[in-house]
Amino acid sequence: MLLKKREVSSKQLTLEMLERRLPKSHPKTTYYQEMLNRTRAGYAGEQRVDQEWQSIYLEQTHYLLHDVVLKEEGGFIHQMDTLLMAQNFILIVEIKNIVGRVEYMEDNHQFIRITSDDKVDGFRNPFDQVKRHAGMLRRLVQMSGHHIPIEYIVVSANPNMIMTSSLSAQPIFHVSGLAERVEQLFKQHQRAYLSKEVLREFSERILKMHKPAHWTLDMKVDELKKGVLCFKCDYRFVMHYRQGKWRCENCGGGDDQAFNNALKDYRHMYGEFISNSLFQDFFGISCAKTVYKILKSLQLQEVGAKKGRKYIIK
């Protein structure tokens, strides 16, 4: 049973906002675009593995939780790509979407990727990472008064990742082997350590403990474009509100979705609260009555009254 689906990360949404609003001439445009490309590739890899889960039939009671973020009392954050919660074991899945030949330097705890043009890149070691996650989950289980085996694997979502012999002793394989590995784990752990009721309660407890990661923008928002931007013009031109419609000043086209995207962008830039005056400034509408009508039509939750009234963008 799918208990928590995967969602687009705060980091990706913020970077997509920058893609629309950061001027092409800005010195950090290339830097953020490359970061967005990597983030999108990682999310695509995670979705590829999620699709594999949908094709796996498990007759045993289980719960799937994708993209779980737990924070320990000491402040250490555990971001787990997928958790399979079963009566027999708990499985932590770390997903990698790497292209190239990969070697593991066990003594140095380092991952190395060699591309087709012989470029060498270092990566964070995923094995130490999932081991830390396993230790944290083991402590959680013990605190609840129970015991259950904690397993972990690293899954490559990209068929163009070539694993060298240095990885042969490690729990890593391509996504096509996921179903077989899960089957092996159920054969290995045939005892049910948790009742169905306890499994449900513990899975829901983890879900309640989930703290979504929030990626903070490390630049001043006054460097970004304001207003509703035209998708057809590659976000280079601002759209104006005329007779109840948003129209591009360059191509003359209209796009209602562009306004919704602009509201989301505002939230990433300034936070969830917006007032009449802030709306006027960001969307370039001078008439307070027009802004009031637009805000009322959105049916946003309101806080405060009169001049102190603000609206919450969910």
Domain shared by 62 and 139, yes or no = yes
Is 218 within the bounds of a domain?
A: no
Residue 219 lies in a domain: no
Tell me which residue has tokens 């591009």.
248
Domain contains 214: no
Three-state secondary structure readout of 230-246: CCCCCCCCEEEEECCEE
> Within this chain, do residues 33 and 148 fall inside the same structural domain, yes or no?
yes
In this predicted model, what pLDDT tens digit does every residue of 25-65 receive, in sequence order? 999 999 999 999 999 999 999 999 999 999 999 999 999 99
Question: Is residue 198 included in any domain, yes or no?
Answer: yes
Query: Which range among 15-29, 60-74, 209-223, 224-238 shows the weakest confidence by mean pLDDT?
Result: 209-223
Q: 34 and 162: one domain?
A: yes
| Distances 284 to 79, 94, 275, 297 between C-alpha atoms, Å | 40, 45, 14, 18
* Same-domain status, 66 and 171: yes
191 and 61 housed in the same domain = yes
- The domain of 268 spans 225-312
In this structure, the answer to whether residues 139 and 260 fall within a common structural domain is: no
- Do 167 and 238 have their domain in common? no
pLDDT band at residue 249 under the 50/70/90 scheme: confident
Confidence of residue 73 (pLDDT cuts 50, 70, 90): confident
Q: Is the model's pLDDT at 215 over the cut of 90?
A: no
The answer to whether residues 61 and 163 belong to one domain is yes
Task: For residues 159 and 296, state if they share a domain.
Answer: no
